[in-house]
Amino acid sequence: MDSWTWGVIVAIALVAAAVLGVAVWLLLRLVRTRRELRRAGLPTGPKWVFWGAVLYLVLPTDLVPDPVYLDDIGVLLLALKSMRTGRQDSLAAERQEGTGTALRG
């Protein structure tokens, strides 16, 4: 193979490694978020959201073939958003219970 072909192969490998790095970073963030929410006594959302996102990243069956981790990253982001929404809903409910009324001007 000539040097141009090797350059393309190296470039594709670097992009794939970067995308995989982002997916692993999001997985670690998801695990840390769940751990922190549980320590604080806040709900972490449905368990299937967390475990489903982890399994989707690990299992070989994907919507898009595994060299492209964009679908995995999307699933992890949705799980993080779901966990954050559950936390915000819980905090809002606690505020309402603490004041006895909804937020009034």
73 pLDDT band (50/70/90 cuts)? confident
Does 25 map to a domain?
yes
Q: How many structural domains are present in the chain?
A: 1
User: By C-alpha distance, which of 20, 82, 21 is closest to 49?
Assistant: 82
- Above 50 in pLDDT, residue 85? yes
**Is this prediction's pTM over 0.85?**
no
Does 104 map to a domain?
no
Does 54 map to a domain?
yes
10 pLDDT band (50/70/90 cuts)? very high
8 pLDDT band (50/70/90 cuts)? very high
Output the pLDDT for position 86.
64
Give the mean model confidence (pLDDT) for residues 3-31: 87
Does 88 map to a domain?
yes
What is the extent of the structural domain holding 22?
3-99
Give the mean model confidence (pLDDT) for residues 77-97: 72
Does 47 map to a domain?
yes
82 pLDDT band (50/70/90 cuts)? confident
Does 8 map to a domain?
yes
Does 105 map to a domain?
no
